[in-house]
Structure 1
Amino acid sequence: MLNQQLNDAVGVIELARPERRNALNVALCDALREAVTSQIDDGARVIVITGQGTSFCSGADLDAAYDDEFLQALYGMLETIRNAPIPVIAAINGPAIGAGTQLAIACDLCIASESAVFGVPTAKNGLAVDPWTVRSLASLIGGGPARLLLIAAGSLSVTEAASYGLVQRIGSLEDALEWAAQVAKLAPLSVAYSKRVLNDMDDEQDRETELYAQFKACFFSEDVAEARAARSEKRAPLFRGK
């Protein structure tokens, strides 16, 4: 489910569910959170997260993503990465869809291969992403591209993602490891300070607001149940806004 190693100061974590295109479930989210924490404790100065096979992460495992336990696991994992005191680099080796795009933007830097594609198709299944994800996408890539992803369920190629700033470099895992080794030599306190300021978003307040309630209402709506049924029955869903 997950492979990891630590070479000198560079930690590598590989999502290893290629049979599910590295889709996230509770167990994988928990394992990823624990791996990040463990590598920091073991002295990593930079962590690289990548995927096994042809996908980085195809999103939430739709067979196991419809309860509060998954939400807690997913957003707890993303928060751990955002709050890590060291840089985390996403090495995107293929499609990063839904929660895969969320994982990419939770990381501090992103390098992606030519086969990478990004999307947040929650409008196709009645789900939603939290306010932090919406604001982070808009801040990172701009309002127009964020609207394309979130409202129209569109997608971005690697070249489009690079032009908008979601991807800082185009390259392979080997390129990511070389970059990580360079970053690991930088002043840790300076890097940690810059990361903290860049990530200073009051998402905790969102948990007490109408926005967060609306997010949760989407996640547990009748439309989500309809999307699940349609997926099982191999037909187009009929959403009713309930």
Structure 2
Amino acid sequence: MSDLLTTARDGDVVVLTLRRPDRRNALNLELCQALHAAAADAVQSGARVIVVTGEGTAFCAGADLDGVYGDAFISALYEMLHGLTLVPVPVIAAVNGPAIGAGTQLAIACDLRVVDERARFAVPTARNGMAVDAWTIRTLAQLAGTGRARRVMLAADTIGHDEALSCGLADRAGTLDDAIAWAQEIARLAPLTLAHNKLVLNGSTQDDERIAQSFADVWASEDVKEAATARAEKREPIFRGH
């Protein structure tokens, strides 16, 4: 694992922490590759929820402008971002400070966002002559609303903590500890159902066959039987993910 990223396990929850506090956790090639690999490794090791956060006072200040102008970085960035949308477990961003540019992209690539008081979001490509892909702009519009997305993308505006919560860009107020506590609650839910729901939420018509199969898999699973048994026995179900 890269020195730029730490992995910590807390039961069924894996916490991935960006560790470039001297650069406000700006993304470079190595960090993008490390985050992509770490998320895949977490799923492979049986994690049921992943939490992504930043060390220090920033979540992620964007792309490292000292090394951003290369095809290799752009490829690694989008492979990592889209990879987070594809892993079959919920991913929570614990936004512990500013999430700027690629930091906002990282936050919206996660499924849920918990924001502390210092959190703010911006994609200031119009200030630096860069561009983000269509997925970024459309996802921002879906989460924050078209009007706010237009303001961010066309006026280089910023969405603060309170506004992010009020418009739906952020899901909960809280610290990293709060995000981990929420992750622990989610980790007790049915994994196959969560994977199916995420596939539907993030997928397109091209995924219809996979969605139909995951729907069938959920209904054929042992977890469905376990839920019925737990109801009869008046206890909480223990889901195994099969």
Q: Same fold (TM over 0.5)?
A: yes
1:146 aligned partner: 149
2:139 aligned partner: 136
- For the residue of structure 1 that corresponds to 2:155, the secondary structure is coil
Larger radius of gyration: 2
**Counterparts in 2 of 1:143 and 1:87: CA distance versus 1, 3 Å:** same
Structure 1 residue runs of 4+, over 6 Å off?
A: none
Rounded Cα–Cα distance in structure 1 between residues aligned with 2:106 and 2:165: 16
- Within the candidate set 97, 105, 119, 1:94 is matched to 97
- Within the candidate set 14, 18, 21, 1:15 is matched to 18
Q: CA deviation at 1:200?
A: 1.4
1:122 aligned partner: 125
Is the counterpart of residue 45 in structure 1 residue 48 in structure 2?
yes
Root-mean-square deviation (Å)? 1.3
Counterparts in 2 of 1:63-102, with a 5 A limit? 63-102=66-105
- Within the candidate set 103, 108, 120, 1:105 is matched to 108
Q: CA deviation at 1:67?
A: 1.2
Is the counterpart of residue 55 in structure 1 residue 27 in structure 2?
no
- For the residue of structure 2 that corresponds to 1:71, the secondary structure is helix
Unaligned runs of 5+ in 2: 207-242
Q: CA deviation at 1:201?
A: 4.2
Rounded Cα–Cα distance in structure 2 between residues aligned with 1:35 and 1:68: 22
1:207 aligned partner: none
Q: CA deviation at 1:106?
A: 0.4
Q: CA deviation at 1:202?
A: 7.3
Is the counterpart of residue 190 in structure 1 residue 183 in structure 2?
no
1:187-240 C-alpha deviation (Å, 9 max, x unpaired): 11111111111101479xxxxxxxxxxxxxxxxxxxxxxxxxxxxxxxxxxxxx
**Count of matched residue pairs:** 204
The percent identity for this pair of structures is: 55
Rounded Cα–Cα distance in structure 1 between residues aligned with 2:205 and 2:197: 17
Rounded Cα–Cα distance in structure 2 between residues aligned with 1:127 and 1:110: 25
1:48-93 C-alpha deviation (Å, 9 max, x unpaired): 0000000000000000000111110000000110000000000000
Q: Which amino acid aligns with 1:175?
A: D
Unaligned runs of 5+ in 1: 204-242
Q: Which amino acid aligns with 1:185?
A: R
1:208 aligned partner: none
1:158 aligned partner: 161
- For the residue of structure 2 that corresponds to 1:151, the secondary structure is helix
Q: Which amino acid aligns with 1:92?
A: V
- TM-score between both structures, scaled by the size of structure 2: 0.82
**Counterparts in 2 of 1:201 and 1:140: CA distance versus 1, 3 Å:** farther
